[in-house]
Amino acid sequence: MHTFWYRANAVLTFAVTILAVICGMASLSDNFNFPSPHAHVQVLNINWFQKQPNGNDEVSLTLNISADLQSMFTWNTKQVFVFLAAEYESPQNSLNQVSLWDGIIPSKEHAKFSIHTTNKYRFVDQGNNLRGKAFNLTLHWHVMPKTGKMFADKIVMTGYRLPEDYR
Amino acid sequence: MKKGCDDITLSSIHYPSISVRSDSGKKTLFEALVLCFQVEMDWQGQKLSELLMQVMLVGFAISAFVTGYSMGSFQMMLLVYAGGVILTTLVTVPNWPFFNRHPLKWLDPSEAERHPKPQQATPAPSKKKPSKTHQK
Amino acid sequence: MKFIVEILNSIRSLNVRQLLSQAITIGLIMSTALMIWKGLICVSGSESPAVVVLSESMEPGFQRGDMLFLRMTEEPIRTGEIVVYNVDGRSIPIVHRVIKVHEHRDTGEVDVLTKGDNNLADDRSLYAHRQLWLHRHHIVGRAVGFLPYVGWVTLIMSEMPVIKYLVIGALGLFVMAKD
C-alpha cells in the first residue's frame, strides 16, 4: 500500500532525477552557441631582461590586451576564465608555455575589455635561451558553465620577438 | 446489538468517523484537510496520484526549461521548476478526498461470520494496523 | 514512540531466512554501486572519476561542495587546463589550473606548475620539499564538467563523521524494519 511517506519519497526522487536531466539539457544547449571572439595584444615595452642568479633568463613586459569575448556568454555561463600565455621553443624543450596574465570575466558586460598591464606571472625560462627569441602570444579562454561541460579555446597571435641583449 | 458494535468497529478503522462527514455533498476545505489525515488512498487513487505526479513533474520541467531558455536566465528555470515541485507535492502527496472516490468494499460482517477465521496457535504479528480484537 | 516499538517488534520477529535474504539485498545494492563506480573509472580513464571541491582556492569558478568530473587522456598537458593532482605525502588531491608547461625535447616529459585561481601565489609551496615542478605521473585527471552543490553530502560526512555513522545506522534500522 502506498503510504504518505512512500509518495513523498517518490516525488522527491523523481524531482531530483528530472532536475539532473534538465541541467544536462541546459549544458547540451551550449553546443548550439558558436562564439566569434576577437583579440589583440601589443607588447608596449620591455621593462627589463636579465639572467637570474640560478642561470635562468627572466623578462618583464608591459602589455596592452584588448579582446571582445561577448559572444561566449550563454544562459548557462557562470564565468569565463581568460589568460594570456607566451609560447616558444628552446634547444632543450620542444615546447614552453608560460602564463603571463589571467583574469576572470564574470558577466557579458565585462567581456569587452582593453587593459594595460605588466605580466602578472614571471616570464622565466628553464635556461638562458630567451635572447632574440621569437614567441607567440596565445589568448586562451575557458568557459565555465553553471552546470555541465566546460569549453576551452584560444587565439594564437604570432610575430613577437624578444630583444637580442639583456637590458 | 452485536452486529451494531461490529459495524462501528470496522468503520472506525476504514472509514472516516461519522461526525466529520457533513450533510451536504460538498466538503469544506477544513473537512477535506481533516480527512487527509484519517484515511489512506484507495487503489484507484494511488494510481491517479502516481500518474499525476509524473505528468506534473515532467510538464513543469519542460516548461521551466523553455522559460529559462527563452528568457536567457538559468535562475528563472530553477525557480519555475522549484515552484512546480512544491505544487506537485501539495497535490499528490496528501490524501485528498478526490483520491478516495472508489473506496474498497469490505465484507459485510454477517458474511464474515459465516466464514470463521481458522484458529491459529501463534499468529504472526502484522505490520499494518492490527485488526481490532473483537471477542466473539 | 509507537514507531520505535513497531521497529523493535519487527526485529524480534526476524528469522534466519529473512535475515539472510535482507543481507543478500544489501549485498546486491552495494555491489551494484561498486560496479557503477568501477565502470566510471574505466570510462573516464582516471583513478577518481569524480571529486568534490574542498577548498575555496578556485573561487569564484568552483565553490566548496561542487562535484567535478574528470577525464584522463593521453593528450599532452597544456596551460589553462584544470587538473587534479596528488603530491607525494599528501592524501588529498588538489584541483588547480596549470599556468606553466615546459616539455622536454629529448624525453617528452613535462614540467608543470599549477596555481589556484583564487590564490595569490603559485603552488610551489604545496609541492613536496624541494619539488619545483609537477610531472605527468602526479596528475590524476583533467576537469571536464561539473555539477554545483552536489558534493555537499560528502563534505558534511567527511567533516563530521558522526553524521556518517548516524546515516548508516538509520539506514540499517530502516532496512531491517521494512518487511
List pLDDT tens digits, range C93-145. 888 988 888 888 888 788 889 988 888 888 888 888 888 888 888 888 888 88
- What would the grid cell of residue B40 be? 489512506
Phi-psi region of C45 (alpha: psi -120 to 50; beta: other; left: phi over 0): left
Active site residue C55: no
Question: Residue B125: its pLDDT value, please?
Answer: 54
User: Is residue B107 predicted with pLDDT exceeding 80?
Assistant: no
SS3 state of residue A148: strand
| Interface-testing mutation among A22, A28, A32, A147, with chain B (most B C-beta atoms within 10 A) | A22
Most confident range, picked from B25-29, B109-113, C73-77: C73-77
Rounded to whole angstroms, the Cα distance separating C11 from C9 reads 5
Closest of A38, A29, A26 to residue A71, by C-alpha: A38
C-alpha distances in angstroms, A140 versus A153, A164, B54, C114?
A: 6, 28, 44, 16
Q: Is B81 near chain A, with CB under 8 Å?
A: yes
Distance from CA of B122 to the nearest CA of C (A): 12
Rounded to whole angstroms, the Cα distance separating C155 from C174 reads 24
Rounded to whole angstroms, the Cα distance separating C28 from A17 reads 22
- What would the grid cell of residue B25 be? 455533498
Q: Which contacts qualify for B51-55: CB closer than 8 Å, 24 or more apart?
A: B52/B88, B52/B91, B52/B92, B53/A7, B53/A10, B53/A11, B53/A14, B53/B88, B53/B92, B54/A14
Which of C44, C46, C57, C66 is the catalytic position? C57
Rounded to whole angstroms, the Cα distance separating C57 from C64 reads 9
CB of C160 closer than 8 Å to CB of A164? no
Residue C9 Cα to chain centre, angstroms: 39
CB of C82 closer than 8 Å to CB of C104? no
pTM: 0.71
User: Is residue B21 predicted with pLDDT exceeding 50?
Assistant: no
Q: What is the pLDDT of residues C7-56, one digit of tens each?
A: 777 766 667 888 888 889 888 988 998 998 888 888 887 777 888 888 88
- What would the grid cell of residue C88 be? 607525494
Active site residue C102: no
Q: What is the pLDDT of residues A21-72, one digit of tens each?
A: 998 888 888 888 888 888 888 888 888 888 888 888 888 889 898 888 888 8
Q: Quickly state the pLDDT bin for B121 (edges 50, 70, 90).
A: low
Question: Residue C14: its pLDDT value, please?
Answer: 63
* Dihedral, C38, C42, C44, C48 alpha carbons, nearest 10: 40
Residues 122-161 of chain A whose Cβ lies under 8 A from any Cβ of chain C: 126, 140, 142, 144-150, 152, 154
CB of A57 closer than 8 Å to CB of A124? yes
CB of A153 closer than 8 Å to CB of A80? no
User: Is residue B26 predicted with pLDDT exceeding 70?
Assistant: no
Question: Residue B58: its pLDDT value, please?
Answer: 93
The answer to whether C111 contacts A126, with C-beta atoms less than 8 Å apart, is yes
CB of A62 closer than 8 Å to CB of A44? yes
Residues in A whose CB is inside 8 Å of some CB of B read 1-4, 7-8, 10-11, 14-15, 18-19, 21-22, 25-26, 29, 74-76, 146
Question: Residue C88: its pLDDT value, please?
Answer: 82
Residue A17 Cα to chain centre, angstroms: 33
Give the pLDDT mean for A157-162.
86
The answer to whether C111 contacts A79, with C-beta atoms less than 8 Å apart, is no
Amino acid making up residue B101: R
Amino acid making up residue C162: V
SS3 state of residue C64: coil
User: What are the b/e assignments for C30-45, b being 16+ CB within 10 Å?
Assistant: eeeeeeeeeeeeeebe
Helices A4-29 and B43-71 cross at an angle (nearest 10°) of: 20
CB of C65 closer than 8 Å to CB of C152? yes
| Rg (chain B; Cα; Å) | 22
Q: Count Cβ–Cβ pairs < 8 Å, chain A vs chain B.
A: 60
Instruction: Give the number of residues written for chain A.
Output: 167
CB of B68 closer than 8 Å to CB of B132? no
Q: What is the pLDDT of residues B62-89, one digit of tens each?
A: 999 999 888 888 888 889 999 999 999 8
The answer to whether C13 contacts B127, with C-beta atoms less than 8 Å apart, is no
Sign of CA dihedral C122, C123, C126, C130: negative
C-alpha distances in angstroms, B10 versus B7, B106, B113?
A: 5, 9, 14
User: Is residue B2 predicted with pLDDT exceeding 50?
Assistant: no
C-alpha distances in angstroms, A153 versus A26, A67, A81, A150, B54?
A: 20, 14, 11, 10, 40
Q: Count Cβ–Cβ pairs < 8 Å, chain B vs chain C.
A: 7
Give the pLDDT mean for B45-74.
89
Beta bridge partners of C70: C143
E strand intervals along A18-165: 38-51, 57-68, 77-88, 93-105, 112-118, 123-124, 134-145, 148-149, 151-161
DSSP assignment, residue A1?
A: -
Active site residue C123: yes
The answer to whether C102 contacts A142, with C-beta atoms less than 8 Å apart, is no
User: Is residue A119 predicted with pLDDT exceeding 80?
Assistant: yes
The answer to whether C146 contacts A147, with C-beta atoms less than 8 Å apart, is yes
Neighbour subunits, A (≥3 Cβ pairs < 8 A) = B, C
The answer to whether C10 contacts B127, with C-beta atoms less than 8 Å apart, is yes
Query: Which residue of chain A has the CA closest to C66?
Result: A147
Residues of chain A neighbouring B65 (CB-CB closer than 8 A) = 22, 25-26
